[in-house]
Amino acid sequence: MIKFLKFIPAQLTFFLIAGILFGNYFSLQPIRLIVVFGALILIFTIAFFYADKQYQTPFIFPALVFLLSFLIGFGGVTFKNQLNHKKHYSKQLQFSTNESVSALITIESVLKSTNYYNKYEAEVFQLNGKKSIGKIVVNVKKDSAINQFQVDDHLAVKMVFSEIAEPLNPYGFNYKKYLQQQQIHHQIHGDNPQFLRLNKINQTIKGIAANIREKINVALIQYGFKNDELAVVNALLLGQRQHLTSELQQSYIGAGAIHILAISGLHIGIILLILSAVFKPLHYFKHGKLAASIIIITILWLYAIIAGLSASVVRAVAMFTAIAIAMQVNRPSSTYKTLVISMFFLLLFNPYYLFEVGFQLSYLAVFSIVWIQPKLYDLWKPKWWLLDKIWQLLTVSMAAQIGVLPLSLYYFHQFPGLFFVSNLVIIPVLGIILTAGIVIIILSVLQIAPQSLVDAFIFVIRQMNHFVSWVAQQEIFIIQQISMSFLLMVAFYLLLFFGLKWTEKKVFYRFVLVLISIVMLQTIFVFEKYLAQSTDEFIVFNQSKASTIGQRTGNVIQFSSSADSLKRSSNFKLAYLVGAELNEMLPSEKIKNLYRFKDETILIVDSLGLYKFNSVKPTIIILRQSPKINLERLLKNLKPKIIIADGTNYKSYLKDWEQTCLKNKTPFHNTLQKGAFVLNK
């Protein structure tokens, strides 16, 4: 590991990542960045010639190299960010989020649909007659008469480009931030769209790949694939997970096997072994080994294109391309070095890969397997061959889980306790499933697949789904609602790193570092618990057809809900419970008319419109269920500090109330626009 840390590409990758992080959070005008970069290149050139003349490398030379790597990362994010380009559609003078604009767009990919909308990712190449760039999300209502769009479809639209909404409740999933990392900042909704299909100008690689996948799906359907079996084949072999139902996806998550449905290093490694065996005879000819390597790498990248060039596919193929090249030039290269080289070039290609959860988890998992698995395997050496193979699989699964556990808890707040069961059963047969699947796809497209073979494959996929569903149903082994802050995650990784280093060589200073990590972990944990315990909040949550109020005292919260809300999903409640690191949620009660929080008196005015109470002087008024009141009279009589309207009110009422409050200089909080109202003192 120490030798690896001295590996120059590893050091360059570290500074590249640092530059990407700084570039993501701190902006610098591109022209200034170019000037700084040019100055560094000049200084670097002078230092290079000085070092060459003196036959020595001054300290400034490596420092400049690392600084250049940092600047490349910083510049990569800056220039990759489309908002920094003058041609971005949002920079056009005619662009507005308040009125319709005319645009020409091209469908780039098909996204997972919702209950009401088919969703697409599209590129805007013209806005109000002017050339432009930029991506948007296209939402087309499912009951629309318009047929589903395909990749490379050119469309003319005239509608409002709306901003992506931020989460309206505390600790909710930030879809806006997620899309920003994909360079998407606006969306359009086809409630009453004026979509006009245009003739396709040209076909892109993505369009060709989408057509190939469509032909494969048509062939598979003809041979009897449907529903979950077809969705799993699309995810497992074609890299398209948008067809998976929410129930099936949750089953794989609960069983700790969701990584199986994302084409990754495991899948590409198995395919590489298959291709290596197929082209092994070429090694007996002159330059046959080189030819085999070129053919294999070409096939892998063609497969990556067909699979949609998703981040997981690209990084896996890039990693195994590096391995294949290292093997070809007979350069003994450790897996660490291969991984870091592939990471370096991937981040050069697209710096935003760094912020993708899949990218982070996959590299952590592979690094953990390479570093931790041998240590776990050495704990026991089974004598029996079968037992040894089972132990190898177990240690691989455990090593991967140990490595990704803190990050998984930070993002997903749950841990599948039976992950080793699903991995022990599925991974040994995954190679057979992939091989059979590829063969069946080829034979099905050629219309020569034996139906008995297809039926057997469908049966295996169906049984795998049933097994995963059964594992996920053992809810007692799924640990959920685990709070993990960023600082706590970092402390866990420091403890893991120093702990493993100490097991490699038990010297005193490493033991001290382990103790320091433990103290740091405990300090962060205690401090966060103290903050949670000392926080009191009154929250008016946002829901479209129901009302929910939360009263938090320390690490305990009680929700007050309308009758409708009691029957609805409570995901936003669980998100708050986990995000705020609370220990207890008291039983919900029905919403009352009056609340007191600290020195505030809070009055709830519902559909009955009652607000005149003797001896009650409310400082905050919450309007819900569209009460028919004269708000101006209420403001003059009660003089509240603020008016809050939740998501149960008619939009026409909200608009009138906002104008009335503006006229009377009273703050107005609409949860549909501003999100949940949080009062803390």
Is it the case that residue 200 has pLDDT exceeding 80?
no
The encoded tokens of residue 514 equal: 């382990």
Q: How confident is the model at residue 540 (pLDDT cuts 50, 70, 90)?
A: very high
pLDDT at position 144 is: 57
Name the nearest CA neighbour of 351 among 41, 90, 110, 71.
71
The whole-chain average pLDDT of the chain stands at 86
Q: Are 97 and 186 in contact (CB under 8 A)?
A: yes
Q: Which helix (H) or strand (E) holds 404?
A: helix 385-412
Name the nearest CA neighbour of 269 among 215, 335, 205, 330.
335
pLDDT at position 627 is: 92
CATH topology of domain 89-202: OB fold (Dihydrolipoamide Acetyltransferase, E2P) (2.40.50)
Average pLDDT over residues 72-93: 87
Q: Which of 227-241, 469-483, 504-518 has the lowest mean pLDDT?
A: 469-483
CA distance 256 to 401: 9
CA distance 427 to 422: 8
Q: How confident is the model at residue 23 (pLDDT cuts 50, 70, 90)?
A: confident
Q: How confident is the model at residue 232 (pLDDT cuts 50, 70, 90)?
A: very high
pLDDT at position 490 is: 95
Global pTM? Answer: 0.83
pLDDT at position 619 is: 92
CATH topology of domain 536-680: Metallo-beta-lactamase; Chain A (3.60.15)
Rounded to the nearest 5°, which phi and psi values hold at 128? 50, 45
Half-sphere exposure of 172 (CA within 13 A, CB side): 17
CA torsion, points 551, 553, 555, 556, in degrees to nearest 10?
-50
- Name the residue ranges covered by the structural domains of the chain: 2-80, 89-202, 206-256+417-481, 265-355, 357-414, 486-533, 536-680
Give the percent of the chain with pLDDT over 70: 93
Q: Are 129 and 160 in contact (CB under 8 A)?
A: no
